[in-house]
Amino acid sequence: MTDKYINAAKLISTISDVIPEFSSSPSSGFRSRCEFGYRDNHYTMVENGKKVFLKFFNIAHPAINNLMPKLLLEINKNELIKHKLFQINFRCNNNNKVMVTFIYHKEATNDLFEILKIISTMFDIHLILRSKKKYFSTSDDLLEEVICSKKPYSLFQTDQTFFQPNRFMVPRMVDLVCDMVEDPSDLLELYCGCGTFTIPLSRIFGKVFATENNRKSIQCLDSAIERNNVSNINYARLSCDEVMKAIDGHIFRRLKGIDLKEYKFSHILLDPPRSGLTNDVIELAKTFDNILYISCNVDTFVRDMKLLNGFEISKLQFFDQFVNTPHIELASIIKRK
């Protein structure tokens, strides 16, 4: 057991007697989403405050890692491609389909895109070019992923949406969260993103109302609902504050005629950013008997639990999403005492 796990467990012990379970990840080939700078004919990243020059990246998905040096060679051959190339991002799915985004500090031309189309064909990749006022793509905007959980399902992502980066951890987290649910009625989900948990949980709950403030993520969720042939999910592009107002009866056009009074919410699912929950969301969560809380920051999770007075952790598990870093993910079920 690593120091990271031990330290995280010690933090949890300050608020709960629950003994956390642990799920470790392979130390290489796990990351299916990577972002790099480009400088001096190399990929770059910052590590411990210093710029590091790379040709490949061992923790990346093998399809990304194998592509990186070959793609770099083609980039470095052509001055039109290299000129003011600022960033190169990679995403990969379980079928080894790679999406690559080139980002420029200049207004891209059709000539540049025609060259990148040739490279796209050469490596059989979905290539996107982003620059000032310009956007090109060799395919549609969506990369489909099949999550190989106990009951596999499809998700979609764009090159700009958040998507869980560790391909080994996502199915385990999904299965655990589904297994944590007892006596389900309807589910309210905040920060739903592309639907990583929304889609599988729709098989357990009577109805799901999911909210997300990012337009691209909502588009991905909509595509996932259609692909998985789901009929019991409603969603709206609402911030957390707007969700609270909607529950109190405020009418938003974005609710598209959805009546929240028709829901019998038994659970709320929270998957916030590293900063954790706002005080308003904590107050909303207190109105539920069951809270599914997924966190990428143990410190803010412990802080939030101290504010959720009257609740206790029923089960908690750590997931090593980011191997060889201080960061750790957790999934928990919290119940009213």
Q: Which residues participate in catalysis according to the annotation? A: 296, 329
In this structure, the number of other CB atoms found within 10 A of the CB of residue 263 comes to 19
Contact of 150 with 123, CB cutoff 8 Å: no
Contact of 143 with 95, CB cutoff 8 Å: no
Ranges of beta strands (E only) in 255-310 are 265-270, 290-295
Distance, C-alpha 35 to centroid of its chain? 14
**What does the block give as tokens for 205?**
């709950």
Write the CA distances from 102 to 83, 85, 123, 159, 164, integer angstroms. Answer: 12, 7, 15, 10, 21
What's at 179, amino acid-wise?
D
Could you tell me which of 155, 182, 256, 180 has the C-alpha nearest to residue 21?
180
From CA 187, how far away is CA 206, in angstroms rounded? 8
The DSSP call for residue 235 is E
